[in-house]
Chain A
Amino acid sequence: MSGGFYAITRANLEKDLRLEWRSKDALNAMGFFALLVVVIFAMSFDPSAEESRRIVGGIFWVAFLFAAIVALNQTWAREMRNQVLDAYRVSAAPASALFFSKVLGNFLFVGLIELLVSPLFVVFYNVRSIGPVWQLAVVFFLGTWALVANGTFFAALSLRTRNREVMLPLLLFPISIPALLAMVQATTNILSGEYSPDMWIKLLAGYDVVFTIAGLLMFEVVLNAE
């Protein structure tokens, strides 16, 4: 069987990575956008090191929530040209594989930008973590996954609406509120070292599991909506 889930996911992911490597459209736009948000927030609040620990968690995730929208909006727009999405629809390949590859791709793009931009928080906000840094890596991983898993799904959903670019944040933000709360609280707890972030990390993991499964199961419905 040539159309296995794994093979199709891999083929799609490779194609997306190659396209992005050549054009760097999403990465450039997203990276510059995140940089702007970080600089503007730093100038607006001008926090001391102590204040930074309390607000950086919020600023970090709000910056990447906004920046991720830039990448997510381009995810499916690319497939509209030359009716690629229609071709995919009539093919026998499982829709969930297409969805999963897009989530992985977006995860890599957003994650890469997070890695590149986070040092700026040390520079502009003078942040030093009191809690263990490896926990931050766990929160980054789960938080980014939460944003892109739902984001990729809702980007496909808003693709079918009028002014789709505006639609995505309107759908994504309300549903993401609990995840955003968990990311921000976990990050702040680690940075300030006052409370344990465990509960929030578990919530985030639960959120990721629920919505990844829901996305995989429901994507076919959205792809074939007529």
Chain B
Amino acid sequence: MKPKTAIFVLITLALLGLGFYQGMYAAPTEQTMGDIQRIFYYHVPSAWTAFLLFFVNFVASVMYLIWKSPRTDAWAVASAEVGVVFCTVVLITGPLWAKPVWGIWWTWDARLTSTLVLWLIYVSYLVMRRFSEGQQTATLAAALAVFGFLDVPIVYMSIRWWRTQHPQPVIGGGANSGLAPEMWPPLLFNWLAFSCLAALVVWMRYSLARAEQELEHQYAVRSLEGRDEMETQLKRAR
């Protein structure tokens, strides 16, 4: 590990620890929900991080369609994969909270359904990448990413008209909404920690994607030069 990466890993770990302490001990217990509300400090930062990563995926995909640079494709795949992971965390922590508070695991409410549809779209993106081969994968995936992103506002509108049960936006909602001031630090620390964690994993996945691209390139060059055949013949001759 390079020193810079090591420092970043340490910072991320420290932030995660601080966020955990803030969320589990420092934050006040919520009046009606009790300790269950503390899952909020993981649920909401995961959601913000996932949406941010999907946005990164869209930007990288558009950039790929314009410049055809393998780097942007590596960014696209890395952000989509990590985004799906964080979105999965959102979809798991949501029902864990909902069961004791709402009395049900799942409901077809606007935000829940939108998040689920978003998750489905990006999983289909990853499935497509898996089933496609060669250079075209990047282009096809970028086209799909653009379609998926265009769908997001339509999904959100359609489902908001269909149902709404999620707690009304706590942050910037109405007059009586709003977090207790003591709840802000744990939320923001966790968000910072999750963003750093996401950045770290995306960076690792990006490096891996670049290595894979390099490997593929080497294979292509080799087969063009016919070097593989020469080597096997040489081995046989020995």
Contacts and interface: CB of A to CB of B under 8 A. Distances in A.
Given A162-B132, A221-B143, A207 B162 contact: no
A203 B158 contact: yes
Interface stretch (B36-44, B69-77, B149-157): B149-157
B124 A170 contact: yes
Contacts of A179: 154
B188 interface: no
Interface stretch (A7-15, A94-102, A153-161): A153-161
Contact of A171 (B139, B144, B150): B144
B132 A175 contact: no
B136 interface: yes
Contacts, number: 90
A157 B142 CA distance: 11
A218 B145 CA distance: 12
Contacts of A173: 120, 124
Given A157-B140, A175-B121, A225-B140, A211 B147 contact: yes
A187 B117 CA distance: 22
Q: Dominant SS at the A interface?
A: helix
B194 to A, nearest CB: 25
B117 A157 contact: no
Given A162-B132, A162-B133, A181-B162, A174 B140 contact: no
Interface in A169-226: 170-171, 173-175, 177-179, 181-182, 185, 199-200, 203, 206-207, 210-211, 214, 218, 221-222, 225-226
A189 B161 CA distance: 14
Contacts of A157: 128, 140, 143-144
B132 A214 contact: no
A37 interface: no
A181 B147 contact: no
Contacts of B128: 157-158, 161, 167, 170-171
A160 B162 contact: no
Contact of A178 (B136, B143, B155): B155
A225 B143 CA distance: 10
- Which of A171, A179, A199 has most B Cβ within 10 Å? A171
A174 B150 contact: no
Contacts of B94: none
A161 B140 CA distance: 10
A163 interface: yes
B159 interface: yes
Interface in B173-202: none
B150 A226 contact: no
B136 A210 contact: no
Most-contacted residue by chain A among B65, B123, B136, B146 (CB, 10 A): B136
Given A178-B158, A182-B158, A210 B150 contact: yes
A171 B124 contact: yes
Contacts of B147: 150, 153, 175, 211, 214, 218
B151 A175 contact: yes
Interface of B: 65, 117, 120-121, 123-124, 127-128, 131-133, 135-136, 139-140, 142-144, 146-148, 150-151, 154-155, 157-159, 161-162
8 contacts: A162-B132, A163-B131, A171-B128, A175-B147, A178-B159, A210-B150, A221-B143, A226-B139
